C-alpha cells in the first residue's frame, strides 16, 4: 500500500477490537484527527499500545520501564484537554521516551547499572514540552549504556532485538526507541544523537529519524555523554510525523547554556513544496569501497527517484570525512570522562555495598556501576586530557573538527542538500562486532561528521538489502534547514512506501 492510498475510515474505530490493526500505520496527524473527532479516546489508544508493548516487549526488549497507571493517568488528562477544546496536535498521543531523559516519578537509568535505582525528581526540558501539549508517556526505552554504542548491546538491561530479524541489532544508542516505532509499540519516540544514535538505528530498523541542528533542542535533563555533540530529536514512521514532533521538541531553554534563542517555526510548513531545481550534493567520499553493494543499490535507486521529482545532482567533496571517526573518538571520550565523573556513589545512583573508606567507595562503585564500553571511553578520555597528551591529541582533534565543518560549508556553496547512505551495511548480527570496538565504531562512519559540525541530519527508509533488512538514506542539511530536509524527505515518501512497511510477523 502506498502512502497516498492509505486512509483511515472513522467507522472502524467504533470497534476497538479492530483498532489494534488499523492504528499500526496511522500517522500522528491521523491519530490526532481521530482523537479530536472523539472517534477514540486517548485512554483507549494508550491502552491498545500498552497491550502491544506487553505482548511484544519480552521478545524485543525495547522498553526498560513501563508504568501503565502513570500512562493512563496522562491519557485521562489528555482526554480532558480535548473535551475542553485545548487540544494540540500531539494531545493524547502515546510517545516512547528514551531512558536518557529525566522524567519525574519514572525510573531513569540511561541503560546503566549505575542509575538502576534512580527515580528522577524532575522533568527534562523535552519531557516538559511533551507534557505541556498533553502527550502521553508510553514508557522509557532501552538504550546503549550512557548512549555509548552503535548496536544497543551495551545496555545493562540486555540487548534490543531488531523487529525485522531478531538475530540482528537494531542500532544504537537509541535502539529501543527505533525498535518501539518499527514494531508499532509506539507511534513515535524520542532519541538522542551524539555520533549517529538517532539516524543509525532509524536506518537499521526502517523508520525515520532526525538529529536537529546543535542547540535547537534543549539538553536540560538529558543525561550528558559528550556535551558539545549530544542532541535530542524525534523518531517516527514518516517525515511528516517528525515535523510534528520537532514542533514540540524544539525551543529555547534558559537552563541549557548551549540552547539557541531563535524564533519558533513550523517545521511542517514546507512539506508540500515541489523539489524542482533542488540541488543534491553527492560526496565522492561516500560512494567508495566500504559501502556494501546492496546498500549502494538502494541509495542509488532513491537518488534516482529524486531526479524524477525534479532534483538535480552534483558531485561534492568532503575530504576530511576519513578523519571523522578518529576525531570523534578523541573528543567524545574526553567529554564523557568529565561528564561521568559525577557518578561516584555519593549523591545518587549505585553505591558499592562494601568498602573500606571514601576512596575505596569511589573505586568500587564506579567499577561495579559502569559497563565495559563506558569504562573504555572514560579511560581513553582521561588519557587524551592528561598532561603531555592534551596538546598532542585533544587540541589537534579540535583543529580537525573545524576543518570538517569547513568542508561542509564549501559543499553547501554548491548544493542545497547532501545525500548518501546512513550506514555502510544493513543491520549486523547480534554479537558480530561486540568483541571488536573498532569495527563497531565504523558503523557510524557516515553520521559522525554532522555531529562534529553541529549540522542537522536525518535518515529515512529507502529499501531493503539482500537479507531483507532495511536500508536508510542519509539527508544532511545546512544549519537550521530542518524544514527543507523534512520537505525533501516527505516528497520522497509520497512516491515510495518504504516508510509504511513493517515486518510481516507483526502485522497481525
Q: What is the set of active-site residues?
A: 98, 173, 197
What 8-state DSSP symbol labels residue 505?
G
Residue 233: its H or E element = strand 231-236
Beta strand extents in 312-456 (DSSP E only): 312-316, 417-421
Q: For the purposes of burial, counting CB atoms within 10 Å of the CB of 247, is it exposed (0-12), middle (13-18) or buried (19 or more)? A: buried
Number of H helices, E strands in the chain: 16, 11
Which residues partner with 135 through β-bridges? none
The 10 Å Cβ neighbour count of residue 231 is: 27
Map grid coordinates 538529529 to a residue.
Answer: 211
Find the angle CA(186)-CA(189)-CA(190) to the nearest 5 degrees.
165
Q: For the purposes of burial, counting CB atoms within 10 Å of the CB of 359, is it exposed (0-12), middle (13-18) or buried (19 or more)? A: exposed
The three-state DSSP-derived secondary structure of 234-268 is EEECCHHHHHHHHHHHECCCCCCCCCCCCCCCCCC
Is the bond preceding residue 494 a cis peptide, omega within 30 degrees? no
**What cell was used for 203?**
536506518
Backbone torsions φ then ψ of 33, nearest 5 degrees: -65, -40
Alpha carbon distance 357, 299 (integer Å): 58
Alpha carbon distance 43, 34 (integer Å): 13
Alpha carbon distance 226, 243 (integer Å): 26
Q: Is 85 within 8 Å of 75 (Cβ atoms)?
A: no
Burial 58-91 (b: 16+ CB within 10 A, else e): eebbbbbbbbeebbbebbebbbebbeeeebbbbb
All residues at 6 or more sequence positions from 23 whose CB lies less than 8 Å from its CB, including other chains: 31, 45, 48, 184, 187
Amino acid at each position: 500500500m502506498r502512502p497516498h492510498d492509505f486512509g483511515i475510515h472513522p467507522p472502524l474505530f467504533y470497534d476497538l477490537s479492530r483498532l489494534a490493526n488499523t492504528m499500526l500505520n496511522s500517522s500522528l496527524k491521523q491519530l490526532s484527527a481521530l482523537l479530536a473527532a472523539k472517534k477514540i479516546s486517548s485512554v483507549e489508544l494508550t491502552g491498545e499500545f500498552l497491550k502491544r508493548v506487553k505482548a511484544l516487549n519480552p521478545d524485543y526488549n525495547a522498553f526498560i520501564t513501563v508504568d501503565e497507571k502513570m500512562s493512563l493517568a496522562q491519557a485521562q488528562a489528555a482526554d480532558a484537554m480535548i473535551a475542553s477544546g485545548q487540544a494540540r496536535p500531539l494531545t493524547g498521543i502515546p510517545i516512547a521516551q528514551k531512558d536518557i531523559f529525566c522524567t519525574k516519578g519514572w525510573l531513569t537509568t540511561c541503560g546503566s547499572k549505575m542509575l538502576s535505582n534512580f527515580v528522577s525528581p524532575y522533568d527534562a526540558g523535552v519531557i516538559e514540552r511533551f507534557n505541556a501539549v498533553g502527550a502521553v508517556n508510553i514508557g522509557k526505552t532501552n538504550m546503549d549504556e550512557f548512549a555509548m554504542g552503535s548496536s544497543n548491546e551495551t545496555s545493562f538491561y540486555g540487548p534490543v532485538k531488531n523487529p525485522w530479524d531478531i538475530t540482528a541489532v537494531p542500532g544504537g544508542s537509541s535502539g529501543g526507541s527505533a525498535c518501539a516505532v518499527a514494531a508499532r509499540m509506539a507511534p513515535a519516540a524520542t532519541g538522542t544523537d551524539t555520533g549517529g544514535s538517532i539516524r543509525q538505528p532509524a536506518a537499521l530498523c526502517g523508520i525515520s529519524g532526525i538529529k536537529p541542528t546543535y542547540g535547537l533542542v534543549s539538553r536540560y535533563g538529558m543525561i550528558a555523554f559528550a556535551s558539545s555533540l549530544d542532541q535530542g530529536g524525534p523518531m517516527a514512521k514518516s517525515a511528516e510525523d517528525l515535523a510534528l514532533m520537532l514542533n514540540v521538541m524544539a525551543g529555547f531553554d534558559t537552563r541549557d547554556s548551549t540552547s539557541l534563542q531563535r524564533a519558533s517555526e513550523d517545521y511542517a510548513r514546507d512539506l508540500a513544496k515541489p523539489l524542482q531545481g533542488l540541488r543534491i550534493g553527492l560526496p565522492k567520499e561516500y560512494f567508495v569501497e566500504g559501502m556494501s553493494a546492496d546498500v549502494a543499490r538502494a541509495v542509488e535507486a532513491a537518488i534516482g527517484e529524486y531526479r524524477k521529482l525534479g532534483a538535480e545532482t552534483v558531485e561534492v567533496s568532503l575530504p576530511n570525512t576519513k578523519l571523522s571517526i578518529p576525531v570523534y573518538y578523541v573528543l567524545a571520550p574526553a567529554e564523557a570522562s568529565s561528564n561521568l565523573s559525577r557518578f561516584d556513589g555519593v549523591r545518587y545512583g549505585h553505591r558499592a555495598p562494601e568498602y573500606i573508606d571514601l576512596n575505596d567507595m569511589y573505586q568500587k562503585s564506579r567499577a561495579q556501576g559502569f559497563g565495559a564500553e563506558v569504562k573504555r571511553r572514560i579511560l581513553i578520555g582521561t588519557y587524551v586530557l592528561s598532561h603531555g597528551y592534551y596538546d598532542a591529541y585533544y587540541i589537534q582533534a579540535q583543529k580537525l573538527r573545524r576543518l570538517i565543518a569547513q568542508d561542509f560549508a564549501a559543499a553547501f556553496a554548491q548544493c542545497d542538500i547532501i545525500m548518501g547512505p546512513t550506514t555502510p551495511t544493513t543491520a549486523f548480527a547480534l554479537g558480530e562486532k561486540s568483541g571488536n570496538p573498532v569495527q563497531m565504531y565504523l558503523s557510524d562512519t557516515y553520521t559522525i561528521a554532522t555531529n562534529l559540525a553541529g549540522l542537522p541530519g536525518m535518515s529515512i527508509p529507502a529499501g531493503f538489502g539482500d537479507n531483507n533488512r532495511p536500508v536508510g538514506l542519509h539527508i544532511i542539511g545546512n544549519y537550521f534547514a530542518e524544514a527543507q530536509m523534512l520537505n525533501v524527505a516527505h516528497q520522497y515518501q509520497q512516491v515510495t512506501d518504504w516508510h509504511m512497511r513493517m515486518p510481516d510477523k507483526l502485522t497481525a
